[in-house]
A and B are shown apart, each in its own frame.
Chain A
Amino acid sequence: MKRVVISLAILVLMTAVCVTGLLYLRGVKDELLIVLEQIRTTAEGGDHDRAADLIAEFGQLWRRRESVLIRYIRHHQIDEITITVARLEPLLRNGDIAEFLAELTKTVRLVEQIWASEIPNMTNIF
């Protein structure tokens, strides 16, 4: 009976860990997408300095969230976002705005992709 109780406790704990991880990821996704949308609006409005500040803020925010996400998300998905984020500021300052916006869209898609690949829906399960 003791083993059954331990097993039940572990099962409940595992479910709680999975649900917490999922809720945290959803929060991070929403948070990141809001900042990315702000960057897009600011850059399209021509205020590149403000956009650069927002990119720096986004970089800091991503580094903080990354340290938690890396514990349960496949590392290559995280690494891809880190690399893309590192390209945003130089592209805004020196590159073509169209290329910057394309990279920004890519970042949005990558963030959405992490969330999409973690939802326990029929597509992901089967």
Chain B
Amino acid sequence: MSIVMVRTVVLYIVIAFSLRIMGKRQLGELQPSELAVTILISNIATLPIEDTNIPLMSGLIPILTLMSFEVLVSYFVLKNKRLRSLIVGNPVVVIRDGNLNQSVLRELRLNLDDLMTQLRLQGVFDIRDVSVAILETTGMLSVYRKFGAQPVTAAMMNLPDNPAQEFPPMTVINDGIVLDEALVMCNLRREWLDKTLEEQQTRAEDVFLMVCDRQANFTIIPRVQVSRKNGGGGR
């Protein structure tokens, strides 16, 4: 049993390292080749864990080789457009000016139910509202609505620019820990934070969450002390 445990830990480290090297793309939307590599790695890893007669090297070598190969292929795909089309594929226009391209749908073997589901998920319930819908290589549908169906924006209403509003509020205290990087992004100083906390009669350690924007508008959620007696769970 101890062999299984040690092997599991080793493979966990190798897989975590491999995913880290393969990058954040691997954790988000997967391209077909990335999906294949991810499934292969997870399957290969189980073999030496389940069967101790299989040497650990039989798991490590293919995992590391797949990881390296995947990184190299994505590098060459980035550099070469033709290779990109071959391995990743191309986005395809499925709706143009509210008209479905039926031949493309047939070619992609995409049924209407799936297409309508994707449209609804994008907030489009009438196909006539779609200016262009593109099926991306990841299988996601990108939709650009006709002007009349687009949500109203500040630009459409000719509202004046407010650069301060263009920056989202940042988390400056997370579970009692001050995030200095967020303070810098809000153009605020540590002294301002200390003074604000003092005015609020609290300390950073007692704050569960504090968000703040560039106008120094802030929200503080204090940490709630859960007593051991009530925090045990169950009935």
Binding site for B on A (CB under 8 A): 3-4, 6-8, 10-11, 14, 17-18, 70-76
Contacts and interface: CB of A to CB of B under 8 A. Distances in A.
5 closest cross-chain pairs (CB), A and B: A7-B71, A7-B68, A11-B68, A75-B53, A72-B57
Contacts of A7: 21, 67-69, 71-72
B53 A10 contact: no
19 contacts: A3-B21, A3-B23, A4-B71, A6-B21, A7-B71, A7-B72, A10-B64, A10-B65, A10-B67, A11-B68, A11-B72, A71-B55, A71-B57, A72-B58, A74-B55, A75-B52, A75-B53, A75-B54, A75-B55
Contact of A73 (B21, B55, B64): B55
Contacts of A70: 55
Contacts of A8: 68, 72
B23 to A, nearest CB: 7
Contacts of A14: 61, 64-65, 68
Given A73-B55, A74-B53, 14 more contacts: A3-B21, A4-B71, A4-B75, A7-B69, A7-B72, A8-B72, A10-B64, A10-B67, A11-B65, A11-B68, A14-B64, A17-B61, A70-B55, A76-B53
Contacts of B68: 7-8, 10-11, 14
Question: Main SS of the interface on chain A?
Answer: helix
A14 B58 CA distance: 11
Contacts, number: 48
Contacts of A18: 61
A87 B21 CA distance: 50
A7 B23 CA distance: 12
B62 to A, nearest CB: 9
Most buried by A among B54, B55, B65, B68: B68
A107 to B, nearest CB: 20
B54 A74 contact: yes
Contacts of B23: 3
A64 B117 CA distance: 64
Contacts of B56: 71
Contacts of A10: 64-65, 67-68
Given A3-B23, A14-B61, A72 B55 contact: yes
A93 to B, nearest CB: 32
A58 to B, nearest CB: 23
Interface string B44-57: 00000000111111
A8 B65 CA distance: 10
